[in-house]
Structure 1
Amino acid sequence: MTRIGLALVGLGKIARDQHLPSLAANPAFQLVATASPAESLTGIPAYADLDAALDAHPQIQAVALCTPPAVRAALARRALQRGCHVLLEKPPCVVAQDLAALDGLAATQGLTLFAAWHSRYAAAVETARRILGATPPLRVQVRWKEDHRVWHPGQAWLWREGGFGVLDPGINALSILTHILPAPLEFIDAELDCPQDSAMPAAARISLRSGAAGVAMQLDFLHAGEPCWDIVADTAQGQLVLSQGGAQLSLDGRAQRIQEQSEYAAIYTYFENLIRRGARDADGAPLEIAGAALRHGRRRRLPLQVLPPAPTAGAAATVPDPLPR
């Protein structure tokens, strides 16, 4: 079977930690080129922008976008216009309307668009979905807490418009919730805690509803110590706990045996399947909930700063790479 030529756009932390190893292990894809203003890989042709890569390598059939979300929609549109299938890192766009427009363009072009919500591919997520489908939850609690300095070091774009702040990791929880809960997830209310120098929140408390079940989310991007990525669902048959970001599952305190699965390996297997079938998967539900929280949440200012200090007078200012994630 012919390998799918792919260009990787953005060479930040998520691309290096997850996309590159997954591509190297998947024989269906061939990494043809990268596009990033300031980063490159040894032995792989590198270009400053997507058009340059596509011009130089007509064998590129697919593009994986690992840039910050603020520039993702424009790049995806360009890739689709040039006849390429597109994989979007999460969050796929800044607003759900952009994702819907891209999906319409992909349909018109006969191309695959894949919004890759990686947390949905965690090992225990499908098992949790089956259980809750048979026994709907009475209430759900989400605790999603991590230290941005550990998991997103130096990524100032997270705190600017379009960066999502704590909703960047929090949208992983939303992607799981919208997948495993049997009734649609609806936004009710949110409280957002924003640092003095940030347009985006560092912590949030979000109220949601899924059918008759209330869903309470606690998000914290300033959490010290071990991260906490847990979803707890109380049902008439007992308590289900999805932990470690969806990798582990327990029922009434009893750990369930779950076969290990690499999220990003599964993503690329599914992306190939979509391409071969001529199909698309661009679910915007998690993005819609995150957007509602950011638009309608009540904000309060925290007495702290998260952005690095501006260069002092006379110091050489570094120009940030606008692409890597």
Structure 2
Amino acid sequence: MPHQIAIVGVGKIARDQHLPAISASPDFDLAATASRNAQVGGVPAYNDLASLLEAQDHVSCVSLCTPPQVRYGDARLALEAGRHVMLEKPPGATLSEVQDLIDLAAAKGLTLYATWHSRHAAAVAEAKAWLADKAIHKLDIQWKEDVRYWHPGQDWIWQAGGLGVFDPGINALSVLTEIYPRALHLSRAELRFPENRDTPVAADLTFYDAGGAQVTAAFDWLHAGPPCWDIHIETDAGTALLSEGGATFAIGGNPTQIGAEMPGEYPSLYARFADLIATGQSETDLSPMRHVADAFTVGRRTVVAPFEW
């Protein structure tokens, strides 16, 4: 029988991605929602997770789509109530609070899944396999988009804990940490903060690779025109480009054939969640979030013009 799952936070990402993925999944049925301002037609709705858990005993899983600043309390509540938990990216506002959830899930014997949807893009696995035996000389990430298009009016992303440009940038870091064949750490960062906001609108990052490769990233949230979600790679065996957020891969300018049609990032996430529950496992890689935390630690702060919607 499908797992009975509840969505917490019926906002843009839930409507655009989570609800369609659950609707198409053979593993989950949407049993209820908890949200202060929105509902899903035909599904029991509650203003908060505590009320939902009290009324819906048959809900076995909770998918948290709320902003990261408020996610920890609901995640802990769900785990304490014996429910499996799936976390939107980033998994929380701080590394320490997510570690607490990891420890609690392990103690309770429950599944905790910290998702990174961009790792499930169609060409990421192919890029990872290609890089595995290459000597990397240079890798440069260009991750640029228009915040007004992708996050219209969402002030939480500009508040402390909302990550600012690292909200999309962490997607790039999730791909980097998936495909790169060895460990990296951040050595330098420049973060540009609008003078009226708590989080950066742009960032330039430099990583240290013990193998000597030059690894850099540029994130920009005021990019005009189509988004740029590209990773340029130079190796001893030639160049490659992982583009469109990981959807396409080209070697030496020649697009590769990815193979069988992929299910999509969010359907793949829910299939993975079902597998983790079935096998009694958790998946909580925090390496993308660790790079973001390091950027705020070592980054040089520059104040730029105010941002207004």
1:49 aligns with 2:48: yes
Report deviation, 1:120.
Answer: 0.2
Between the aligned partners of 2:178 and 2:102, the Cα distance in structure 1 is 19
Using the aligned pairs only, state the percent identity: 45
Unaligned 5+ residue runs, structure 2? none
Q: Please list, as runs of the form range in 1=range in 2, the aligned pairs for 1:14-29 lying within 5 A after superposition.
A: 14-29=13-28
Using the alignment, how far apart are the partners of 2:93 and 2:182 within structure 1? 25
Question: Residue 130 in 1 paired to residue 114 in 2?
Answer: no
Following superposition of structure 1 onto structure 2, how do residues 95-244 of structure 1 map, counting pairs within 5 Å? 95-212=94-211, 213-244=213-244
In the alignment, which residue of structure 2 is the partner of 1:320? none
Amino acid at match of 2:236: A
Asked if 2 retains the 8 angstrom alpha-carbon contact of 1:7 and 1:64, the reply is yes
- Structure 1 distance, partners of 2:208, 2:252, is 23
Following superposition, the deviation at residue 185 of structure 1 comes to 2.0
Distance between the aligned counterparts of 1:182 and 1:223, measured in 2? 30
Amino acid at match of 1:172: N
Aligned to 1:303: 305
Q: Counterparts of 1:42 and 1:22 in 2: how far apart (Å)? A: 16
What's the CA shift for 1:136? 3.7
Structure 1: tracts of 5 or more residues without a match:
309-325
1:17 is paired with a residue whose SS is helix
Q: CA deviation at 1:202?
A: 0.2
Q: Are 2:285 and 1:283 equivalent residues in the alignment? A: yes
Alpha-carbon offset, residue 303 of structure 1: 1.6
1:145–1:221 Cα contact (<8 Å) kept: yes
Shift of 1:49: 0.5
For residues 40-93 of structure 1, the C-alpha deviation after alignment (integer angstroms, 9 at most, x for no partner) is 011001000001111111011000000000011121111101001000000001
Report how far residue 27 of structure 1 moved: 1.5
Instruction: Give the distance between the partners of 2:135 and 2:283, measured in 1 at CA.
Output: 25
Distance 1:192 1:244 in 2: 24
Cα shift at 1:304? 2.4
CA separation in 1, counterparts of 2:220 and 2:72? 27
Instruction: Give 1:94's aligned residue.
Output: 93
Structure-2-length-normalised TM-score: 0.97
Q: Distance in 2 between matches of 1:209 and 1:234?
A: 16
Cα distance in 1 for partners of 2:225, 2:68 equals 28
Contact persistence 2:197–2:306 (CA under 8 A): no
RMSD between superposed Cα atoms in Å: 1.0
Q: Secondary structure at the match of 1:93?
A: coil
8 Å CA contact 2:205, 2:218 repeated in 1 = yes
Secondary structure of 1:60 counterpart: coil
Kindly indicate whether the alpha-carbon contact (under 8 Å) linking 1:181 and 1:210 is maintained by their aligned counterparts in 2. Answer: no
- 2: distance between equivalents of 1:114 and 1:214? 32
Q: Tell me whether 1:294 sits opposite 2:296 in the alignment.
A: yes
Aligned length: 306
Query: Residue in 2 aligned with 1:68?
Result: 67
- Structure 2: how far apart are the matches of 1:282 and 1:147? 29
Q: Conserved in 2, the CA contact under 8 Å of 1:189 and 1:296?
A: yes
